[in-house]
Amino acid sequence: MSSLSRRDEILNTALKLFNEQGSANVSTRHIAEAMGISPGNLYYYFPHKEAIIHAILDRAEALFEGVYDFDSAHLPSPKSLLKRREHYFWEYRFFQSEMMLLFQNDPSLKERFGKLQQKRLKEIEKMLGVLQEAGILRPLKEELKKILTQNLWIVSNFWNLFLEIEGRLFEEETKGVIENILALLKPHMTREGIAWILLDN
């Protein structure tokens, strides 16, 4: 087995256990036991659990690279634009529902996520500008665009925490984030924008 495939196997196992049991309840020893390998074998790839969590975040980040990279002449359908986020919400649910605890345990993770947040906010704001240029959204004042950008980010990142508190963190429920994102956009849409949404229906 190659180093890459063993590394991926560790991440897959850790992600499964984190999602099922919560990361606080899973140690590197538990991950090694679930894989049938020694802790020393696991430490060859990851020196501690925090390194595993950072590597899982690498995967999650990769899902969104290039998602907002389109122009007004080549608009994706709403479904194709949002489907990666739907996948992310279920496959990486432990990270969203445990975010504050993870940050308390690893300040470097909080710092990293803060930088990622600023990057994504800029990408979302740029996307709104492209949707305006395409006639999907009505012209937005800068202050309103900033608020809408923040609201889209908040809904898209803390939906699972809301479901966790409600006791409804199930796969079908996580898909509701798409409806909520579109609900934020619809009041600012033109007729063309509404037609754009209906492309997926």
Contact 112, 57 (CB under 8 A): yes
Look at residue 24 in the predicted model and tell me its pLDDT. 94
Look at residue 65 in the predicted model and tell me its pLDDT. 80
Instruction: Give the closest residue to 23 by CA, choosing from 102, 90, 92.
Output: 102
Report the DSSP beta bridge partners of residue 137. 189
Region 82-101: mean pLDDT is 84
Question: pTM for the whole thing?
Answer: 0.85
For residue 189, the SS3 value is strand
For the cut 60, the answer to whether the pLDDT of residue 154 exceeds it is yes
- Take residue 163 and report the two structure tokens written for it: 């479901």
Look at residue 4 in the predicted model and tell me its pLDDT. 57
Look at residue 201 in the predicted model and tell me its pLDDT. 56
CA distance 53 to 108: 11
Region 105-121: mean pLDDT is 94
CA distance 2 to 8: 10
Instruction: Give the closest residue to 52 by CA, choosing from 85, 88, 99, 8.
Output: 8
Return the C-alpha torsion angle 171, 59, 34, 40, nearest 10.
-160
CA distance 186 to 61: 27
CA distance 11 to 42: 10
Contact 34, 14 (CB under 8 A): no
Look at residue 200 in the predicted model and tell me its pLDDT. 66
| 7-66 per-position pLDDT tens digit | 999 999 999 999 999 999 999 999 999 999 999 999 999 999 999 999 999 998 888 787
> In whole angstroms, what separates CA 71 from the centre of its chain?
22
Contact 70, 130 (CB under 8 A): yes
Q: Report phi then psi at 102, rounded to 5.
A: -60, -40
Beta-carbon contacts of 67 under 8 Å, excluding residues fewer than 6 positions away, are: 81, 84, 123
